A and B are shown apart, each in its own frame.
Chain A
């Protein structure tokens, strides 16, 4: 029975559509985001990835492509995607030891939150609220993310 249910789930899944470029927030270059962040007093989200990183691609596909999250990211922060194989210097500057790593900088460019590994939509959405709302100055991420 379970076998048939799973098969039915697959068959009922939306039919493959024509491939589309990953939707997501407006990705900016590092220098541009740094300048705009200072100017507009918005935080910056640095997303460190690599071409071989399966979980990075999965985050692009399933997390950053979410219209609601992408909209909030574009509205409240500037997003920067860093390929550590092409920009290894940025990886060194921010001491990236693994990918995916997501670092939020406050509007002054100081690190406010570092998340390593795969992050789902919910966690990333809360992380955005944590930094964009200035909560990182008053409480810890652990305490903030534990709130209902």
Chain B
């Protein structure tokens, strides 16, 4: 069963390739879907359709009959890395498609709603070409972390005011990276993948016609990457050796707690505010890549290589504020602001995994025509600069390196009710 789900998700990832997201609350997207993203990701206590599958599952219970949604986002990161003694190097142009497809329905006029969807949870990636390696030669830094989830979801109206929901996440993740592959001890790693299961519980309480509160809890997803291959550069003499079995341990998608409130000051206005706690400190500590089964003979002691990435990310608080105004029964406009503390410590900053953007501003709209909704949102992540302040050491090779990053994302979605 796990294998079959893994194959399905892997196929979806191939169809959506290149899928790697430069996600922005750490490695998470600030919101899924143009409605949530248009409100800065403030969606815990806001009615949703299919996108509740990726947000608060309790909001699936606002589905009135059947709805299918298809869409996604296009993300364009802009980064620069400046290593000590070098000029800044810009990231190659990247435009990542982040798909979403979902279906939700109420079971008759009962209190139960069900749905299923597949979506990009997040990820990250860089592509720095023509950057000098530690030996001074032209080289590259490249990474691509992609995480996709298939999410069957159930919601139940316990009372007219209280709704509960639950989602099972079947996730599939992949990682590739190049760490100065042309230089001494350089690595070219491909094909690491992992299947994982997690879950999310959600609740929404409609206090009155104006106020609602919501909360979610998401379990962590332990990702045991394997099935990869590493080409390791021993430098002059031994040259490059391909290790046919590579795996990565201790890379985890974090647990998360979210609480949110929504308020309708007038019939046409909706304001929403969420606070999230993301437990990166438990999820991303020291990630170790282990390579074995070399394709050519190697000296004793080199049959297995172990490469640690000391990351020690910090827990993250995310604040999301959104507003929505219904102009009439066809047009709705939205705006939002999202701040997520940078989870990457100064002393372990690694340009391969710099998820450092903090401030986001968003705006969007929905155009409703008969049974169709057309959602659109734009998201801008403002520039954040960070410098590795740790002492140089074999486990902190990027001491003194500065990374600068901003990004723009466009979200679109089409929903049909029937």
A-B contact count (CB 8 A): 104
Q: A3–B378 contact, CB under 8 A?
A: yes
With contacts A3-B378, A6-B365, A52-B61 taken as known, whether A98 is within 8 angstroms of B325 at the C-beta atoms is no
Within the assembled complex, what's the spacing in Å between the Cα atoms of A29 and B325? 32
Bits for B261-297, please: 1 = Cβ < 8 Å to A, else 0. Answer: 0001111110000000000000000000000000000
With contacts A50-B109, A52-B160, A84-B109 taken as known, whether A16 is within 8 angstroms of B363 at the C-beta atoms is no
Q: A19–B209 contact, CB under 8 A?
A: yes
Query: Of B47, B109, B209, which is within 8 A of A97 by CB?
Result: B109
Q: How far is the CB of A1 from chain B (nearest CB, A)?
A: 10
User: B106 — which chain A residues lie within 8 A by C-beta?
Assistant: 98
Q: A22–B363 contact, CB under 8 A?
A: no
Query: Of A19, A52, A99, which is within 8 A of B264 by CB?
Result: A19
Stretch at the interface among B191-199, B328-336, B338-346: B328-336
Query: Of A13, A17, A19, A117, which is within 8 A of B371 by CB?
Result: A117
User: B64 — which chain A residues lie within 8 A by C-beta?
Assistant: 53-56, 98-100, 117-118
Q: A10–B333 contact, CB under 8 A?
A: yes
Q: Counting CB contacts under 8 A, is A36 at the interface? A: no
Q: Counting CB contacts under 8 A, is A93 at the interface? A: no
Q: B335–A62 contact, CB under 8 A?
A: no
User: A18 — which chain B residues lie within 8 A by C-beta?
Assistant: 265-266
Main secondary structure of the interface of A (DSSP, over half): loop
Bits for A81-92, please: 1 = Cβ < 8 Å to B, else 0. Answer: 000110000010
User: A96 — which chain B residues lie within 8 A by C-beta?
Assistant: 109
Q: How far is the CB of B122 from chain A (nearest CB, A)?
A: 22
Q: B363–A19 contact, CB under 8 A?
A: no
Q: Counting CB contacts under 8 A, is A9 at the interface? A: yes
With contacts A52-B62, A61-B268 taken as known, whether A7 is within 8 angstroms of B335 at the C-beta atoms is yes
Q: A10–B417 contact, CB under 8 A?
A: no
Q: How far is the CB of A120 from chain B (nearest CB, A)?
A: 5
Q: A85–B160 contact, CB under 8 A?
A: yes
Q: A120–B329 contact, CB under 8 A?
A: yes
Q: A10–B334 contact, CB under 8 A?
A: yes
Within the assembled complex, what's the spacing in Å between the Cα atoms of A116 and B328? 20
Within the assembled complex, what's the spacing in Å between the Cα atoms of A51 and B400? 58
Q: B327–A13 contact, CB under 8 A?
A: yes
Bits for B85-118, please: 1 = Cβ < 8 Å to A, else 0. Answer: 0000000000000000000001011010000000
Q: A13–B325 contact, CB under 8 A?
A: yes
Within the assembled complex, what's the spacing in Å between the Cα atoms of A54 and B335? 21
Q: How far is the CB of B332 from chain A (nearest CB, A)?
A: 9
Q: A118–B333 contact, CB under 8 A?
A: no
**Closest CB pairs A-B (n = 4):** A16-B265, A6-B363, A54-B62, A51-B160
* Residues of A in contact with B (beta carbons under 8 Å apart): 2-3, 6-7, 9-10, 13-14, 16-20, 22, 50-56, 58, 61-63, 65, 84-85, 91, 96-100, 116-118, 120-121, 123
